[in-house]
């Protein structure tokens, strides 16, 4: 089978490996069809590391994946031919975080395309059935969106977005749009800001109010999601909150670019929550895709065959689209 290997920064090759043949009990073999390119894939391609996760040997890219069940192991209810979405993080299922339902915080999680764990840009993946979700009525191109949408679903849940809440999302990239969709589904009135006019246009095309940040937004919102990890985004997010509001930090920047005004948080009674990945979200994310199917076409403007991906990355073709989906086979 063909796989996409990141050998070192700016060095991606398509190589052949043996197909996985053994399917253990409780596992499925999935023929991967669609994989979204994420900002983390690009970051590993450009820099070879994200924080403490450093590329030290060749790694298969890709974690936003969907495909078709090919074979099943003993004790699995999924059947060959089903379209499925693969949750990319496999926790230990034994630690205090897993046992309390917060498995996104598991210190031993094995997450696709996070060194040294291989990702999903390969023709076949053997995956635990527990983290393989049927996507009835959806195509693989749609089902692979469950991964970025899960971040939004988890964030909206953690922030307890409710009916009539005024919600601002700072950063109108894929995760920002996902968070706006999830907030709207929970009854919030979501708007987005960005510094790029093309992203503002995309958010509007998805049916949201979107603009550059301005002074009229100060002190207006019940919940603000910060999706950029930049100091300007953090500062705008804090200013936009009403007293007693909730600030959810999704974007991951550097410590020096994510500084908060502690006195303001104290005096105005603002709650700050950190959002890291997600847990127990995939069924809801897939339901979200079905509900907003037409509006989510903004995520489907760019496709590339896996065999063409090395050149696509070298040309930085991903910069021109909200989301690029790789067709594996």
Tens of pLDDT, residues 77-98: 999 999 999 999 999 999 999 9
Cα-trace Rg, the chain: 20
Distances (CA, A) of 56 to 90, 256, 309: 21, 26, 21
Q: Is the pLDDT of residue 140 over 90?
A: yes
Strand 221-226 and strand 27-36: the pairing is unpaired
How far is it, in rounded angstroms, from Cα 262 to Cα 256? 15
Q: Is the pLDDT of residue 1 over 90?
A: yes
Could you tell me where in the chain the CATH 3.40.50.720 domains are found?
152-274
What per-residue confidence (pLDDT) applies to 144?
Answer: 98
Could you tell me where in the chain the CATH 3.90.180.10 domains are found?
2-144+294-327
What per-residue confidence (pLDDT) applies to 60?
Answer: 98
The structure tokens listed for 196 are: 């790029």
Q: DSSP string covering 185-247, please?
A: HTT-EEEEE-S-HHHHHHHHHTT-EEE---GGGTT-EEEEEE-S--HHHHHHHHHHEEEEEEE
Looking at CATH, the fold of the domain delimited by 152-274 is given as Rossmann fold (3.40.50)
Q: Is the pLDDT of residue 127 over 90?
A: yes
Give the Cβ contact number of residue 183 at 10 Å: 27
**In the chain, pLDDT over 70 holds for what percent of residues?**
100
Which pLDDT band, with edges at 50, 70 and 90, does 138 fall under? very high
Mean of the per-residue pLDDT values for the chain? 97
Which pLDDT band, with edges at 50, 70 and 90, does 137 fall under? very high
Which pLDDT band, with edges at 50, 70 and 90, does 27 fall under? very high
How far is it, in rounded angstroms, from Cα 151 to Cα 161? 14
What per-residue confidence (pLDDT) applies to 52?
Answer: 87
- For the question of whether the overall pTM of this predicted structure is more than 0.75, the answer is yes
Which pLDDT band, with edges at 50, 70 and 90, does 301 fall under? confident
What per-residue confidence (pLDDT) applies to 202?
Answer: 97
Report the first-to-last Cα separation within the chain, whole angstroms: 10
How far is it, in rounded angstroms, from Cα 318 to Cα 116? 24
How far is it, in rounded angstroms, from Cα 268 to Cα 70? 55
Strands (E), the chain: 2-8, 11-16, 27-36, 49-50, 53-54, 59-60, 64-72, 83-86, 89-90, 110-111, 124-128, 132-134, 166-170, 189-193, 209-211, 221-226, 241-249, 271-274, 302-305, 324-327
What per-residue confidence (pLDDT) applies to 329?
Answer: 81
pLDDT tens string 147-191: 999 999 999 999 999 999 999 999 999 999 999 999 999 999 999
CATH superfamily of 2-144+294-327: Medium-chain alcohol dehydrogenases, catalytic domain (3.90.180.10)
């Amino acid at each position: 089978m063909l796989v996409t290997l990141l050998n070192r920064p700016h060095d991606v090759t398509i190589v052949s490996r043996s197909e996985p043949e053994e399917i253990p009990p409780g596992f499925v073999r999935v023929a991967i069809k669609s994989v979204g390119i994420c900002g983390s894939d690009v970051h590993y391609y450009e820099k070879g590391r994200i924080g403490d996760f450093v590329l030290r040997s060749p790694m298969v890219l890709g974690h936003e994946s969907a495909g078709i069940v090919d074979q099943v192991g003993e004790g699995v209810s999924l059947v060959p031919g089903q379209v499925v979405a693969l949750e990319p993080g496999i926790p230990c299922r034994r630690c205090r975080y897993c046992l309390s339902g917060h498995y996104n915080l598991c210190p031993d999680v094995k997450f696709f395309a996070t060194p040294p764990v291989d990702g999903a840009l390969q023709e076949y993946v053997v995956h635990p059935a527990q983290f393989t979700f049927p996507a009835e009525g959806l195509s693989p191109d749609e089902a692979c969106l469950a991964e970025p949408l899960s971040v939004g679903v988890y964030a909206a849940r953690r922030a307890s977005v409710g009916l009539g809440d005024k919600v601002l999302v700072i950063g109108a990239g894929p995760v920002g749009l996902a968070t706006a969709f999830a907030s709207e589904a929970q009854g919030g009135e979501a708007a987005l800001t960005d510094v790029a006019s093309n992203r503002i246009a995309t958010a509007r095309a998805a049916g949201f109010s979107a603009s550059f940040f301005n002074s009229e937004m100060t002190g207006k919102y019940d919940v603000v999601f910060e999706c950029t990890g930049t100091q300007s985004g953090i500062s705008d997010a804090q200013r936009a909150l009403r007293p007693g509001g909730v600030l959810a930090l999704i974007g991951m920047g550097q410590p020096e670019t994510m500084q908060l005004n502690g006195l303001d948080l104290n005096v105005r009674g603002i709650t700050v929550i950190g959002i890291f990945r997600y847990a127990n979200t995939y069924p809801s994310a897939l339901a979200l895709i079905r509900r907003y199917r037409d509006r989510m076409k903004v995520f489907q403007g760019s496709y590339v065959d896996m065999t063409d991906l090395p050149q696509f990355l070298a040309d930085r073709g991903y910069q021109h689209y909200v989301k690029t989906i790789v067709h594996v086979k």
